[in-house]
């Protein structure tokens, strides 16, 4: 490894950061080895002490090492304060049917792979192709790590959890550990262009979805000044429908916007949205799960608490769908879905989106408006999905004469595949069926209405 | 006798969120509970918040909405329950809280959060039901307020929406989210009757004063009158159906003389029904969903049809009076 001298040379600063992480990984291993040696040494000392004070009545002491190893890891279910976590421990030995050496072995296998990858990493700006050299792997996908030793890991989830635990413990990003995330996020809108490290550009489009590349490949975001609002859409099918309806550049709105799927939101939020001042609006289902998703967009999640400051955009507003507005948009109470006990009760900690646990959150993590809506939802004993807006004819005061004309919507063909295009296939399912291709789609009407009146997006003229 | 009802006056203040329960008490005050977590007592004649002096206390608003209200026959106590199952007994004349019970605390096999509560007219106990559809009888005495004295299964595990003691304190009616209505005998702790006249949630029940009739309000947009004396398994019981609302019926009451039914609906109207004639005789338009209605318990003046109080989505408590005479 080259020695790093010049702090103004960002490449070597990156190398410096990488070396810090390498050291931290090595520290975990060293800590384990130290504990192992100490236990062994202690057992030896005890054994020799026993020997020296041996009398004929004492039984021979057990000279086997009495191991007592504890490896601290961040406990992501217990966030401390703004950025740190409480601790949990991997201990050995432990009474476990499967043996307690396995968790430690799994941990170090993952650490080993991360360590290797960082060492093999070629400086980022010099990378030309996104293929791996089979012997010198510089980035591992979570899947790759799992397949390295399926017998050891047993499930993908074990790997995923360990990667997040290690990142939280070392207080670094997963990308610093050279573990790639899958991005299945997509965006829609001509106002965004993404520049890759390879020099290519991905230009957004107002009529179709564009896949967001993985974070490690992105050099920068180019955000058009004319984009005045950002809409996060929880569900892919609804997102697709709104793309095809060209919401991001609609004749009834005077300003352009950008739409992102829920999965794509963290990628763009960390890189760019935190720096801009456009309103960020979220469209989620009108149910406890939707409100939990909403709070993840705004406040971050407990599992990724250590990334919270980078992900959280406190400007995120709940655009819809609100339980309280359903009747105003012509939805009959009988069309709503009954709340189930599953929605209501507090379940296990890992799925903490049930209504009462949401209501127990402090005001700083559950705004008054959201609480009110949730309380009304529980009292009505009904919830709704975004798609419910597809089936209704909105009151005529909501529609506009311009929309009486059918807008010809082009469903995009599969463009000829190039090695760098990131487009979704044309047959990805849409919400709302055929009615959504019509410009009078109630879902579109609803969104335009809400963007105009709630988000204060100015109308045309 | 005119059966038109006119709006008389509103509460001088409004709750900050929907009113989910109202009750007109024997002392001519009204009690209202709200989604904003607050409970309020009002002087019916004026609409002012009730106070018998500067020291009169009203409970501080709860963190979650209040969903169930039951007022004692003598007007002395109000029992109310919150969304998550905190049950409170409030002395309406002194303003003191005399009992609090956290029904959501897991204290035993039968413990479950209460959704609906009802005070025994004879005092000393109250009934509750929750998600599993069992009826629980609790102590209402200050010393062991809330302690479960008996739990009676209904035979089904459907969400218990509304429960009500009969005026003579001998029975409790319970309605479920899937439409069943159960009648329990308190003394024997047993189920004595059940009705299946609804297939959708029954949100409210009202007993006639003589305890023979039960009027139910359902999300199927109907009210059904049941003769409770019909025996179990005979397949009958429903003696009349009242249709006319265009959305869920949320609340129901029977007038003190047993002649008029009263219903509040999600269709934003209140209807008065002539029970004997099986027909609506008055429809009053409100501005939002009407969650709760309650007749004045004192028999009306001769030549008038009485008065009632209502509460709904806008958080205002409203009084209405019969158009004839002085109301």
pLDDT tens across B112-126, in order? 899 999 999 988 999
Q: Are B171 and B184 in contact (CB under 8 A)?
A: yes
Residue pointed to by tokens 């001998």 = B170
Listed range (A171-185, A304-318, A387-401, B283-297) with the worst mean pLDDT: A387-401
CATH number for B274:
2.130.10.10
Listed range (A311-325, B13-27, B192-206) with the worst mean pLDDT: A311-325
Cis check: omega of the bond before A93, within 30 degrees of 0:
yes
Query: Per-residue pLDDT for B153 more than 80?
Result: yes
A226 Cα distance to chain centroid: 27
- The tokens for A258 are 């950008």
A131-146, pLDDT tens digit by residue? 434 345 667 777 778 7
Is the CB of B177 less than 8 angstroms away from the CB of A341? no
Is the CB of B131 less than 8 angstroms away from the CB of A378? no
Distance (Å) of CA B68 to CA B49, B79, B171: 20, 8, 19
Which pLDDT value is given to residue A21?
A: 85
Query: Per-residue pLDDT for A267 more than 80?
Result: no
**Beta strand spans in B56-159 (E):** 66-71, 77-82, 86-91, 97-102, 114-119, 125-130, 135-139, 148-152
Residue B267 maps to a domain: yes
Tell me which residues of chain A have a C-beta less than 8 Å from any C-beta of chain B. Answer: 332-334, 338, 341, 344, 356, 359, 372, 375-376, 378-379, 381
Which pLDDT value is given to residue A81?
A: 57
Grouping H, G, I as helix, E, B as strand and the rest as coil, residue B184 is strand
- In terms of pLDDT, which residue wins out, A423 or B65? B65
Instruction: Round to whole Å and give the CA distance between A165 and A75.
Output: 7
Instruction: Round to whole Å and give the CA distance between B252 and B271.
Output: 10
Average pLDDT, rounded, for chain B: 93
Which pLDDT value is given to residue A327?
A: 85
How many CB atoms sit inside 10 A of residue B299's CB? 10
Is the CB of A379 less than 8 angstroms away from the CB of B84? no
Report the percent of chain A where pLDDT is more than 90: 18
Instruction: Round to whole Å and give the CA distance between A152 and A139.
Output: 21
Is the CB of A379 less than 8 angstroms away from the CB of B219? no
Closest CA of chain A from B160, distance in Å:
12
Beta pairing, strands B317-322 & B5-10: antiparallel
Q: Which of residues 23-62 of B touch A (CB under 8 A)?
A: 35
Domain enclosing residue B257, as ranges: 5-322
Which pLDDT value is given to residue B98?
A: 94
Residue B327 maps to a domain: no
Residue B105 maps to a domain: yes
Q: How confident is the model at residue A214 (pLDDT cuts 50, 70, 90)?
A: confident
Indicate which of A363, A366, A376, A380 best probes the interface with B, i.e. most B CBs within 10 Å of its own CB: A376
Indicate which of A334, A357, A382 best probes the interface with B, i.e. most B CBs within 10 Å of its own CB: A334
> Model-level pTM?
0.74
Nearest CA in chain B to A332: B247
Instruction: Round to whole Å and give the CA distance between A223 and A280.
Output: 14
Q: Is B67 on the interface with A (CB under 8 A)?
A: yes
Chain B positions touching A356 (Cβ under 8 A) are: 84
Chain A positions touching B65 (Cβ under 8 A) are: 375, 379
Q: How many domains, chain B? A: 1
Q: Given A146, A147, A289, A297, which residue is catalytic?
A: A147
Task: List the one residue out of A22, A279, A270, A372 whose CA is nearest residue B315.
Answer: A372
Q: Which of residues 230-259 of B touch A (CB under 8 A)?
A: 247-248
Instruction: Round to whole Å and give the CA distance between A143 and A179.
Output: 10
Query: Per-residue pLDDT for B154 more than 50?
Result: yes
Residue pointed to by tokens 């979805």 = A209
What mean pLDDT is predicted for residues B136-147? 95
Residue B91 maps to a domain: yes
Is the CB of B20 less than 8 angstroms away from the CB of A356? no
Closest CA of chain B from A334, distance in Å:
8
Query: Per-residue pLDDT for B19 more than 80?
Result: yes
Give the ranges where A272-352 is alpha helix by DSSP (H).
288-299, 308-311, 341-344
- This complex has an ipTM of 0.94
- In terms of pLDDT, which residue wins out, A356 or B80? B80
What b/e string do you get for A285-302 counting C-beta neighbours within 10 Å, with b at 16 or more?
Answer: bbbbbbbbbbbbbbbbbb
What mean pLDDT is predicted for residues A67-72? 82
Annotated active-site residue A147? The verdict is yes
Instruction: Round to whole Å and give the CA distance between B283 and B306.
Output: 15
Residue B191 maps to a domain: yes
How many CB atoms sit inside 10 A of residue A256's CB? 20
Residue B118 maps to a domain: yes
Q: Are A261 and A211 in contact (CB under 8 A)?
A: no
DSSP A152-204: HH-SHHHHHHHHHHHHHHHT--GGGGTEEPP---EEE-TTEEEEETTS-EEE-
Task: List the one residue out of A170, A287, A286, A284 whose CA is nearest residue A298.
Answer: A284
Which pLDDT value is given to residue A392?
A: 61
Which pLDDT value is given to residue A225?
A: 85
The backbone region for A222, taken as left when phi is positive above 0, alpha when psi lies in -120 to 50, beta otherwise, is: beta
Distance (Å) of CA A237 to CA A266, A270, A376, A430, B318: 19, 24, 27, 4, 45
What mean pLDDT is predicted for residues A281-287? 93
Q: Which of residues 70-109 of B touch A (CB under 8 A)?
A: 83-84
Is the CB of B219 less than 8 angstroms away from the CB of A356? no
Indicate which of A331, A337, A356, A363 best probes the interface with B, i.e. most B CBs within 10 Å of its own CB: A356
Query: Per-residue pLDDT for A25 more than 80?
Result: yes
What mean pLDDT is predicted for residues A359-364? 87
**Beta strand spans in A215-315 (E):** 218-223, 227-233, 256-261, 280-283
Length of chain A: 461
Chain B positions touching A332 (Cβ under 8 A) are: 247
Chain B positions touching A359 (Cβ under 8 A) are: 63-64, 83-84
What mean pLDDT is predicted for residues B219-246? 88
Most confident of A56-70, A124-138, B131-145: B131-145
Instruction: Round to whole Å and give the CA distance between A163 and A160.
Output: 5
Is the CB of B219 less than 8 angstroms away from the CB of A375? no
Closest CA of chain A from B247, distance in Å:
8
Q: How confident is the model at residue A414 (pLDDT cuts 50, 70, 90)?
A: very low
Which pLDDT value is given to residue B293?
A: 98
Instruction: Round to whole Å and give the CA distance between A332 and A330.
Output: 6
């Amino acid at each position: 490894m080259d020695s790093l001298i010049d702090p103004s040379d960002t490449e070597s600063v990156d190398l410096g950061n990488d070396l810090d992480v390498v050291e931290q990984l090595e520290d975990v291993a060293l800590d384990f080895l130290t504990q192992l040696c100490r236990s062994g040494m202690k057992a030896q000392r005890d054994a020799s002490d026993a020997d020296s004070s041996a009398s004929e009545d004492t039984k021979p002491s057990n000279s086997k090492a009495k191991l007592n190893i504890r490896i601290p890891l961040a406990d992501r279910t217990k966030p401390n304060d703004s950025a740190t976590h409480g601790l949990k421990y991997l201990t050995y030995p432990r009474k476990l049917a499967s043996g307690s050496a396995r968790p430690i072995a799994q941990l170090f296998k993952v650490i080993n792979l991360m360590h290797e990858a960082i060492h093999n990493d070629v400086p980022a700006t010099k990378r030309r192709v996104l293929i791996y050299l089979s012997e010198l792997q510089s980035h591992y996908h979570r899947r790759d790590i799992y397949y390295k030793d399926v017998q050891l890991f047993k499930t993908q989830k074990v790997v995923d959890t360990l990667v997040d635990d290690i990142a939280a413990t070392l207080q670094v990003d997963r990308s610093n550990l050279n573990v790639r995330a899958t991005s299945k996020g997509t965006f829609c809108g001509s106002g965004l262009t993404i520049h890759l490290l390879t020099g290519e550009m991905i230009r957004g489009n107002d009529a179709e979805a564009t896949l967001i590349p993985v974070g490690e490949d992105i050099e920068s975001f180019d955000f058009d000044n004319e984009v005045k609002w950002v809409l996060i859409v929880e569900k892919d099918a609804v997102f697709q429908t709104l793309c095809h309806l060209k919401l991001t550049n609609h004749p009834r709105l005077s300003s352009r916007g950008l739409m992102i799927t829920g999965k794509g939101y963290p990628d763009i939020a960390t890189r760019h949205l935190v720096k801009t001042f456009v309103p960020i609006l979220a469209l989620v289902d009108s149910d406890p799960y939707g409100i939990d998703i909403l709070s993840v967009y705004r406040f971050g999640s407990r599992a990724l608490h250590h990334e919270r400051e980078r992900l959280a955009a406190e400007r995120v507003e709940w655009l819809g769908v609100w339980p309280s507005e359903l009747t105003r948009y012509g939805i009959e109470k009988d069309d709503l879905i009954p709340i189930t006990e599953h929605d209501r009760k507090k379940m296990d900690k890992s799925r903490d989106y049930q209504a009462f646990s949401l209501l127990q959150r402090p005001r700083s993590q559950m705004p008054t408006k959201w609480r009110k809506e949730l309380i009304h939802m529980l009292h009505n004993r009904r919830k709704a999905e975004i798609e419910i807006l597809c089936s209704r004819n909105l009151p005529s005061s909501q529609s506009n004469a311009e929309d009486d004309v059918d807008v010809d919507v082009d469903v995009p063909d599969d463009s000829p595949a190039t090695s760098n295009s990131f487009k979704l296939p044309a047959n990805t399912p849409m919400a709302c069926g055929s009615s959504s291709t019509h410009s009078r789609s109630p879902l579109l009407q609803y969104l335009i209405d809400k963007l105009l009146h709630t988000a204060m997006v100015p109308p045309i003229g | 006798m005119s059966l038109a009802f006119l709006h008389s006056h509103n509460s001088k203040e409004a709750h900050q969120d929907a009113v989910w329960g109202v009750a007109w008490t024997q002392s001519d005050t009204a009690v209202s509970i709200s989604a904003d977590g607050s409970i309020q007592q009002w002087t019916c004649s004026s609409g002012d918040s009730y106070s018998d002096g500067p020291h009169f206390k009203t409970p501080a608003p709860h963190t979650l909405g209040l969903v169930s209200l039951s007022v004692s026959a003598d007007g002395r106590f109000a029992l109310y329950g919150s969304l998550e199952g905190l049950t409170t007994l409030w002395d309406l004349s002194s303003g003191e809280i005399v009992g609090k019970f956290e029904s959501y605390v897991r204290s035993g096999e039968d413990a479950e959060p209460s959704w609906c509560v009802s005070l025994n007219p004879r005092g000393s106990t109250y009934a509750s039901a929750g998600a599993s559809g069992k009826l629980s009888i609790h102590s209402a005495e200050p010393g062991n307020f809330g302690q479960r004295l008996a739990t009676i299964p209904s035979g089904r595990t459907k969400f218990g929406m509304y429960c009500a003691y009969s005026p003579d304190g001998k029975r409790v009616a319970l309605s479920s989210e899937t439409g069943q209505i159960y009648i329990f005998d308190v003394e024997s702790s047993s189920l004595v009757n059940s009705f299946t006249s609804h297939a959708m949630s029954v949100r409210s029940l009202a007993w006639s004063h003589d305890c023979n009739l039960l009027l139910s309000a359902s999300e199927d947009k109907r009210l059904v009158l049941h003769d409770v004396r019909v025996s179990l398994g005979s397949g009958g019981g429903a003696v009349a159906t009242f249709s006319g609302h265009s959305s869920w019926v949320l609340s129901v009451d029977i007038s003190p003389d047993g002649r008029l039914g009263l219903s509040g609906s999600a269709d934003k109207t209140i209807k008065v029904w002539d029970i004997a004639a099986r027909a609506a005789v008055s429809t009053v338009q409100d501005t939002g969903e009407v969650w709760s209605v309650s007749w004045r318990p004192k028999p009306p003046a001769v030549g008038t049809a009485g008065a009632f109080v209502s509460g709904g989505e806008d958080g205002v408590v409203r009084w209405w009076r019969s158009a004839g005479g002085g109301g």
